[in-house]
Amino acid sequence: MTAGPLPVQTTQQGRPAGTLYRGDTEGMWSWVLHRITGVLIFVFLLVHVLDTAMVRVSPELYNETIGTYKNWIMGLGEAGLVAAVLFHALNGIRVMLVDFWSKGTRYQRPMAWTVVGLWVVLMVPFLIRHLSNIFGG
């Protein structure tokens, strides 16, 4: 293997293809997932403020609205949302360490795997609690 600049994939118009940033595997995927989870959370946030605003209309309407969240399909959606929030939060801390910690760039790769590890450790108790709430009746 010869070391050297990686060839930049380009579109037919000659622009760099698609996703802009191309770091190493861990850096690239962390960056992609950070963007995807971020957009997902933002869209949910808009809906979530609107559904919560129903408390201002009447207790009945709010309970009816929040009732639509209490089935297993929405329950799995909530699990996905929490998964997205936890990754975004943990990877956000990693981004700050890369930016502000003097050794951050050197350890960005092990930190990416630490994010994955902590994410699993936090998801397991949450899923046990949440899935038993959804399916336990």
Partner 1 sequence: MSTPNAPALDAPRSPYSRTKSTRSNYELYSWVFMRMSGVVLVVLVLGHLFVNLMVGKGVAALDFAFVAGKWASPFWQIWDLLMLWLAMLHGTNGVRTIINDYAERDTTRFWLKMLIYFAFVVVVVLGTLVIFTFDPCPVGADPSLLPSFCQA
With respect to partner 1, which residue has the nearer C-beta, 74 or 116? 74
Report the residue from 55, 76, 120, 124 that binds partner 1 according to the rule CB under 8 A.
55
SS (H, E, C) the chain: CCCCCCCCCECCCCCECCCCCCCCHHHHHHHHHHHHHHHHHHHHHHHHHHHHHHHHCCHHHHHHHHHCCCCHHHHHHHHHHHHHHHHHHHHHHHHHHHHHCCCCCCCHHHHHHHHHHHHHHHHHHHHHHHHHHHHCC
The yes or no reply on residue 45 touching partner 1 (CB under 8 A) is yes
Binding residues for partner 1 (CB under 8 A): 20, 35, 38-39, 41-42, 45-46, 49-50, 52-53, 55-56, 58-60, 62-63, 66, 69-70, 75, 78, 82, 85-86, 89, 92-93, 95-96, 99-100, 126, 129-130, 133-134
